[in-house]
Structure 1
Amino acid sequence: MLVKLRLSGTVLELMKFLERLMRIFYVDKQISALGPEELRFPNQELKLLHIEDDDEFFIQSKLPQINLNNPPNTIKQISFNKKLSSNQEQPNK
């Protein structure tokens, strides 16, 4: 899958697009026994997580894993293009 992004788009649009491709987890080292917490509330302020040194964020892809030794017929790729001509397809929102 080739994805083209418009540079005139907003950060919010990019975040909404990436949300479909990945999940973000936060691990508070002081209470790490509870495991990672998925960040599901996009309007939540980061300061409410009380992030400290040594806390971690994990990014998990929602895309299927690709075995590079035996690639499928189509390999998913994301590319960033500075320009889109008027006859090119617009990216999905």
Structure 2
Amino acid sequence: MRNHDVWHVLTGLSASTEDELVLQAFTRAQVFRPSCAILVLVGPIGWLSCAIGQTIKGLKHGKLATQLINWDVASDWENPLSEVREKLEILPLID
């Protein structure tokens, strides 16, 4: 996904293994990608430091957010992050 890094910023998630799993859960709720589904199901088993609760939170937030796959990133590039998050109904996933 070419906007994957932008989704990290929108959700407030880092590139750590744990946060990557949460972002995959968010992505799985947004679009069906078999790789996302596999990571969401198997990831917490392989990386026990990733809390199941955070993965579930990623799924919930992904379902509540506007469909980012149709979002034109360039149209909001100059806008403050808080305004873009509000427009796209994204709540940061960091605690």
The TM-score with structure 2 as length reference comes to: 0.26
Which structure is higher in RCO with an 8 Å CA cutoff and minimum separation 6?
1
Larger Rg computed on CA atoms = 1
